[in-house]
Structures are given as structure tokens and as C-alpha cells.
Amino acid sequence: MLERFDELTTAHVADACLRAGVPVRTVSLTSVVGGRIAGRALPAQHVGSVDIFLEAFEDAAEGDVLVVDNSGRRDEACVGDMVAREAQIACLSGIVIWGLHRDTVDIQEIGLPVFSLGALPTGPLRLDPLPADALLAATIGGWTVTRDDLVLGDEDGVLFVPADRIDELFDLAESIRDTERKQAAEIRSGRSLREQVRFKEYLTARAADPSLTFRQHLRAVKGAVEE
């Protein structure tokens, strides 16, 4: 099922969410290793020690993505090569960190996709109390992520989608991708996007009815740019 993401981008699926009325839960994280990520979310709230990740791995299934909630902190790294190696041996497909990582060179050598806000040499210096839901939910960029979500990541960042809507979202994303590819091919062959989406008609119609939006017009002419 997730193989369908191989031929899509997070941008296509984000636009599909908008079209389907599903919240667009994205965060701008970058991959330490390059490469893409797709799998079921395995949430873990970090409070100052890696033991919460080891505990999460005890119940992990093959292909899961560890979703680390470190509150977006920039004063400590919370995942390094030890955690990445352990995730790999537990058959996870990657790690997403709402926070920082360290041991960059070793993580690159391991090759497991790790997405984070950046790197810092300092590890955790604190130990806070562990919330009761530490393995049930992660708050990432203000979004709540649970075991019911899938994680998709690529060069644009990371997107969380409800697992029970994925077929519908992939259908929409594929149709958006196909429309955009056709538009792009036409632009390459010299036919402007404005011509393709009949932009002059839109400007005329909007002059007559100022409430008309470009998205409404795009839908009417079956174009795709932002949804």
C-alpha cells in the first residue's frame, strides 16, 4: 500500500489532504541521510533519556517510523547513532525528530532515514517526569500524532496522515500529480500555465464577481497548482 508513495511527493499528498478535508499536518524537517520515509507512526515523548525509545522498540512492527516528540527543543540533541542503530535492528524504516540529532556522520553511515530540525553536539542534560501517554501520542509542530497515523517524508519535509484515509488520499494525490505533470510538460513545450488554465478568463470573471477565487477557477478548468 505504501509503495504508492514511491511515485508521489509529500506536496502531492498534502494537496490531496486539502482536497479531501483532512488536516494538512506537515513539518519542515530535513533528512540527515537523504532519502524518503514512509511507515506507521511509533510515537515517543522524550524527557531526557533514550530509554523511552528502547521501550517503544519493544512493541514496534517492521516498517514503523519512530516519531520523537522533543518539544522542538534546540538546546539538546536526543537521537544519535546508538538510537539509529537500535531502530535499524528493530526493523524500523526511519526516525522523525521534533528536535535535534547528533552523531551525524555515523547516522549517515548507518543509512537509516532520520529527519530532524538540525544537529547539536550536546546530549540531554536533564531528566523530567515521564508523562503517562509518552508512548501513545507525540506533539510534532503543534500536531498530535498517534499509532493511527502514517508518516511520509521526502525532500520537502514530513507529513502525517490518518492511516484509514490513505487509499483515498493516494488516489487524489496521483490525480493531482498527473495533472501537474501534464501542465509542466506543456510549459516545457512553450504553452504557458496562464494559457493552460485560461487565466485571462479568470481575471475577467473575477472582475465581474470579486468573490471568485483562483482555486474555484482551477477546479472548473480541471487544473492543479495548490490543491
- Closer to Mg ion by Cβ: residue 115 or 160: 115
Does residue 82 belong to the site contacting ligand OAA (CB under 6 A)?
A: yes
C-beta of residue 29 within 8 angstroms of C-beta of residue 145: no
Rounded Cα gap, residues 194 and 176, in angstroms: 18
Does residue 124 belong to the site contacting Mg ion (CB under 5 A)?
A: no
Does residue 154 belong to the site contacting Mg ion (CB under 5 A)?
A: no
Rounded Cα gap, residues 199 and 227, in angstroms: 17
CB of 69 to ligand OAA, least distance (A): 15
- Closer to ligand OAA by Cβ: residue 14 or 107: 107
User: Taking CB positions, which residue lies at the least distance from ligand OAA?
Assistant: 80
Binder among 43, 80, 94, 153 for ligand OAA (CB under 6 A): 80
- Closer to Mg ion by Cβ: residue 126 or 200: 126
Binder among 15, 64, 69, 103 for Mg ion (CB under 5 A): 103
> Which residues, at least 6 apart from 148, have a Cβ–Cβ distance to it below 8 Å?
41, 162, 163, 164
Rounded Cα gap, residues 199 and 85, in angstroms: 52
Q: Which does 78 bind (CB under 5 to 8 A by kind): Mg ion, ligand OAA, none?
A: ligand OAA
Does residue 102 belong to the site contacting ligand OAA (CB under 6 A)?
A: yes
At position 134, the amino acid (one-letter code) is A
Binder among 17, 32, 83, 150 for ligand OAA (CB under 6 A): 83
CB of 124 to ligand OAA, least distance (A): 6
Residue in this structure with the C-alpha cell 536526543, named with its chain if needed: 78
Binder among 64, 81, 149, 154 for ligand OAA (CB under 6 A): 81
CB of 111 to ligand OAA, least distance (A): 16
Rounded Cα gap, residues 89 and 137, in angstroms: 23
H or E segment to which residue 115 belongs:
strand 114-116
Rounded Cα gap, residues 154 and 188, in angstroms: 25
CA distances from 114 to 84, 120, 192, 217 (A): 8, 14, 39, 40
C-beta of residue 115 within 8 angstroms of C-beta of residue 39: no
Stretch that binds ligand OAA, among 30-38, 40-48, 80-88, 178-186 (CB under 6 A): 80-88
Does residue 80 belong to the site contacting Mg ion (CB under 5 A)?
A: yes
Does residue 113 belong to the site contacting Mg ion (CB under 5 A)?
A: no
Does residue 69 belong to the site contacting Mg ion (CB under 5 A)?
A: no
Rounded Cα gap, residues 189 and 69, in angstroms: 46
Interface residue list for Mg ion (CB under 5 A): 80, 103
